[in-house]
Amino acid sequence: MKKIGVFTSGGDAPGMNACLRAAVRTGLHHGLEVVGILRGYEGMIDGDFRVMDRQSVSNIIHLGGTILRSARSERFRTKEGRIQAYQQLKKEGIEGLVAIGGDGTFSGAHIFYEEHGIPIVGCPGTIDNDLLGTDFTIGYDTAINTAMTAIDNIKDTANSHDRLFFIEVMGRDAGFIALRTGIACGAEAVLIPESKTNIDHLVSLLQENFDNRKSSNIIIVAEGDDAGGAFDIADQVRRRNRQFDIRVSILGHIQRGGRPTCMERVRASRMGMEAVKALLAGKSDIMIGQVHTDIIYTPFAHATKHHQEINPTLTQIVEILS
């Protein structure tokens, strides 16, 4: 293998740049030519390539977002789009790929590998932490710290006004951001897609708190919760009990940006390096993950199909400590 391509795809995540830097510099260290593919699979289809030298990734380790930009490609979902992408890679002489992204990116990578046989190794880059085969995805640690700071701020004003706040955090299909920030901020309840939300139960908990003169309450809602988003749930609670002074706050994309934390940069650097080493060792169709302190390989099909499970102890912490 003489030339590899690197790209970021799907929702951006803090730490993607650190991962990219590591992949580029590890590739160069091993005598490879490295090409950056802009806008993920979109740029691959369009042949939007950029030669990456050491300087191209200078001073990016601390930056959020991705200097290669990102996209969710509809064209790559089609067979024709993937053929076009393959032809562009062939024309450029790219023989292997490092994909930094989440489940959509890896589902695409898996099909692409099956159809065209080009070796691809993935680094888990998503704030959602929802991929099987790694304790933490790139972006998650920064996102939970950003959310935690925002929730702390809301808590100040909630306390001052004796209010009940519903705060929505990201997580279309997963409650990892909600659960960890809920614990870190001492939330009264955390509502996540992995467990059924019972509004009546929530209202009695809030009533109990109210009767015990608990002046403010924070409820964290993962955006993909089965009972709806924070606004829907707040409405359902309001309809059952009018005595609460309710406010809603949606944290939104603020969670996706910002400077990556120290742990994020270290993990991302390690994963980017390991991805290139895996490619050189002849691996493909796998995601790099870190479990405890070990690097492990998980087939794309497995990493994307099976959700990481919620640790029941974390749910218990919320219930007992709130």
Q: Contacting ligand F6P (CB under 6 A), which of 97, 127, 147, 151?
A: 127
Report d(CA 65, CA 17) in Å as an integer. Answer: 7
Stretch binding ligand F6P (CB under 6 A), from 22-30, 106-114, 164-172, 202-210: 164-172
Stretch binding ligand F6P (CB under 6 A), from 19-27, 35-43, 120-128, 269-277: 120-128
Of residues 12, 103, 128, 130, which has the active-site annotation? 128
Q: Is 128 in the site for ligand F6P (CB under 6 A)?
A: yes
Q: Contacting ligand F6P (CB under 6 A), which of 126, 290, 298, 315?
A: 126
| Length reported for the chain | 322
Pattern 244-263, ligand F6P, x by CB under 6 A:
------------x-------
**Closest by Cα among 263, 184, 185, 169 to 223:** 169
- Closer to ligand F6P by Cβ: residue 149 or 241: 149
Distances (CA, A) of 31 to 25, 53, 115, 277, 280: 10, 11, 28, 12, 11
* Residue whose entry in the numeric block shows the structure tokens 């977002």: 65
Stretch binding ligand F6P (CB under 6 A), from 16-24, 126-134, 153-161, 309-317: 126-134
Contacts of residue 95, defined as CB under 8 A and 6 or more positions apart, other chains included, come to: 1, 2, 3, 4, 118, 119
- Closer to ligand F6P by Cβ: residue 4 or 190: 190
The footprint of ligand F6P on residues 205-224 (CB under 6 A) is: 223
- Closer to ligand F6P by Cβ: residue 71 or 94: 71
**Closest by Cα among 273, 202, 210 to 240:** 202
Q: Is 170 in the site for ligand F6P (CB under 6 A)?
A: yes
Quick check: 265 and 145 in contact, CB under 8 A? no
| Minimal distance, residue 143 CB to ligand F6P, in Å | 8
Q: Is 196 in the site for ligand F6P (CB under 6 A)?
A: no
Q: Is 226 in the site for ligand F6P (CB under 6 A)?
A: no
| Minimal distance, residue 51 CB to ligand F6P, in Å | 28
**What residue number has its CB nearest to ligand F6P?**
11
Return phi, psi of residue 99, to 5°. Answer: -105, 125
Quick check: 85 and 39 in contact, CB under 8 A? no
Distances (CA, A) of 134 to 46, 167, 193, 274: 32, 27, 20, 13
Q: Is 172 in the site for ligand F6P (CB under 6 A)?
A: yes
Quick check: 164 and 247 in contact, CB under 8 A? yes
Contacts of residue 154, defined as CB under 8 A and 6 or more positions apart, other chains included, come to: 165, 167, 218, 249
141 labelled catalytic: no
The alpha carbons of the chain give a radius of gyration, in whole angstroms, of 22
Total interface residues for ligand F6P by CB under 6 A: 9
Q: Contacting ligand F6P (CB under 6 A), which of 4, 8, 11, 99?
A: 11
**Closest by Cα among 26, 53, 34 to 95:** 34
| Minimal distance, residue 29 CB to ligand F6P, in Å | 30
Q: Contacting ligand F6P (CB under 6 A), which of 5, 36, 108, 171?
A: 171
Give me the residues that bind ligand F6P (CB under 6 A), please.
11, 126-128, 170-172, 223, 256
Catalytic residues: 128
